[in-house]
């Protein structure tokens, strides 16, 4: 399983979650972790699983992550398993991960799993205790879902 973890981060919290996910998924194949750069889109042709992560800003993903998603070729997204996560303050309305999942669905791409939120104590953070460990467990679940999807596709 070739994975790309593309994230944006303002205070480093989303980057820490992205790194925990990438570190976990490395046990199952090559992983590239890159900070989103809309001007230099990631080549996703050799990617099986695309993980998108963004802090929640203004109830949605950051402008850089929104721009990245607009620039990824439509046909490419349909050949990938895609998931989204965010970091946000618990209890506040709005989620970058849900925003990204809705955007993917509008492009005809159903995310592999529901969007996931990881929580920070305040706008600059830090992460709530245990969130990096929760990200590790979430990544293991991603691997299981991806393996099930591949098994289902091979069986048919």
Q: HEC string of the chain?
A: CCEEEEECCCCCHHHHHHHHHHHHHHHHCCEEEEECCCCCCCCCCCCCEEEEEEECECCECCHHHHHHHHHCCHHHHCCCEEEEEEEEECCCCCCHHHHHHHHHHHCCCCCCCCCEEEEECCCCCCECCCHHHHHHHHHHHHHHHHHHHHHHHHHC
Q: Structural domains in the chain?
A: 3-155 (3.40.50.360)
**pLDDT score of 43:** 80
Question: 53 versus 77: which is more confidently predicted?
Answer: 53
Beta bridge partners of 88: 119
Q: How far apart (Å, rounded) are the C-alpha atoms in residues 105 and 98?
A: 10
Q: Convert the pLDDT of each residue in 5-56 to its tens digit.
A: 999 999 999 999 999 999 999 999 999 999 999 788 788 888 999 999 999 9
Question: 62 versus 150: which is more confidently predicted?
Answer: 62
pTM score, whole prediction: 0.95
């Amino acid at each position: 399983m070739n994975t790309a973890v593309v994230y944006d981060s303002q205070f480093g919290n989303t980057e820490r979650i992205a790194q925990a996910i990438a570190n976990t998924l490395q046990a199952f194949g090559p992983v590239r972790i890159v900070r989103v750069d809309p001007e230099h889109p990631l080549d996703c042709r050799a990617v099986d699983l695309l993980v998108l992560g963004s802090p929640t800003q203004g109830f949605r993903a950051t402008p850089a992550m929104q721009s990245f998603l607009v620039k990824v070729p439509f046909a490419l997204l349909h050949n990938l398993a895609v998931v989204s996560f965010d970091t946000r303050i618990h209890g506040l309305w709005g989620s970058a991960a849900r925003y990204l999942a809705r955007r993917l669905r509008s492009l005809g791409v159903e995310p592999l799993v529901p969007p996931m939120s990881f929580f920070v104590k305040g706008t600059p953070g830090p992460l709530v205790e245990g969130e990096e460990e929760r990200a590790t467990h979430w990544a293991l679940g991603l691997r299981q879902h991806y393996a099930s999807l591949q098994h289902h596709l091979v069986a048919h």
